Amino acid sequence: MKNTISQTLEVNKVSESKIGQVDFENLNFGKIFTDHMFVCDYINGEWQTPKIIPYGPLSMDPSARVFHYGQAVFEGMKAYKDDNGDTFLFRPDENYNRINKSAERLAMPEFPEDYFFEGLNTLLKLDNEWIKPGFGNSLYIRPFVIATQASVSASEADEYKFLIICSPAQSYYSGEVSVLVEERYSRSANGGFGYAKAAGNYAGQFYPTKLAKEKGYQQIIWTDADTHQYMEEAGTMNVFFRINDTLLTAPVSDRILDGVTRKSLITLAEKQGITVDVRPVKVSEIVEAAKNGSLKEIFGAGTAAVVSPVKAFGYQGEHYELAKQENSYASHFKKALMDIQYNKAEDAFGWRYKV
């Protein structure tokens, strides 16, 4: 069935949904995708007619530049359903702006705002059944852009594909993680592209993370590439430290990704009278605070898990366990943010976006 719903967007629906085959009680994160996807090609210096088509494999020339030079950027966002069945996004303008910021750094073209929002809205309406109500259930949304131009010549491409794919996600209790403070490898450097959500930033951290896992840690906290003396962020999350009742987090820079969850937590904390010190955080002061008991919590902040508590960290061969907190900031902020996302709390900052 082919029908055009607007002048700019072509919709080609599946003849039959595969939703009946999905076990929503036992979802493996990121493995199952909805019936449709959004695609838009960039050719001859212009974005072509955007389309929504059945989810399925892409056909690409093996010389497409994304395979050779990693010219690829992405976003991660979620859609939530409230008890009335209304669907919401959380600060999607931030994701839209960020994917273009990432694209610019990788010499890729800007994507038009109206295509992005019309595509997203139409896709979420078509696949709305895939967003299950219930606190913690969501639809993980992955917009991404890849260089499709056929040619192994080492320069920026002039053909690209923008896609949005969606995967149902469940609230999961990831457990508390142990993290290793990295002393040798670096995720990003001054003048690099650590601030971009670029595929290559991930590729480069799998190996050090594998080594950390062999030592019994699930994730790495990256330190600055120059001195390895300052805490930066985890691989997919920004990081907060609670010393007594103050929160510390590193300022964003060209090495650190400007997370939507991070900036939302800072705003919420300040509104609630909790001091947030945004400043370079020395590894030595965190070690000192762990030793004298003033380090109460460490947690990661990112769209996928919202807030992830850390139970221990390793540094220079030592292992530091954090004491369990009653009324942790981590659980408080996780609930406060999710209450806004699921339309259960007042949206004082205008963060919810109704689909």
Ligand X SMILES: *Cc1c(COP(=O)(O)O)cnc(C)c1O
Which residues form the interface with ligand X (CB under 6 A)? 76, 197, 233, 236-238, 257, 259-262, 301-303
Question: Among residues 179 and 290, whose Cβ is nearest to ligand X?
Answer: 179
Residue type, 264: S
Picking from 200, 3, 202, 195, the residue whose alpha carbon sits closest to that of residue 100 is 195
Picking from 195, 74, 41, 201, the residue whose alpha carbon sits closest to that of residue 144 is 74
Question: Among residues 102 and 149, whose Cβ is nearest to ligand X?
Answer: 102
CB of 130 to ligand X, least distance (A): 20
CB of 144 to ligand X, least distance (A): 12
Question: Among residues 145 and 260, whose Cβ is nearest to ligand X?
Answer: 260
306 within 8 A of 337, measured Cβ to Cβ = yes
Question: Among residues 34 and 238, whose Cβ is nearest to ligand X?
Answer: 238
Long-range contacts of 332-340 (CB under 8 A, 24+ apart): 333/265, 333/268, 333/269, 333/299, 333/301, 333/307, 334/306, 334/307, 336/268, 337/261, 337/264, 337/265, 337/268, 337/306, 337/307, 338/135, 338/136, 338/306, 340/90
The residue with tokens 């989810």 is 55
CA 272/CA 282 separation, integer angstroms = 26
CB of 45 to ligand X, least distance (A): 29
How many angstroms separate the Cα of 174 from the Cα of each of 171, 306, 310, 330, 336? 9, 11, 11, 13, 19
CB of 303 to ligand X, least distance (A): 3
CA 340/CA 268 separation, integer angstroms = 11
CB of 188 to ligand X, least distance (A): 9
CB of 77 to ligand X, least distance (A): 8
CB of 302 to ligand X, least distance (A): 4
Question: Among residues 157 and 260, whose Cβ is nearest to ligand X?
Answer: 260
Question: Among residues 49 and 190, whose Cβ is nearest to ligand X?
Answer: 190
Question: Among residues 63 and 97, whose Cβ is nearest to ligand X?
Answer: 97
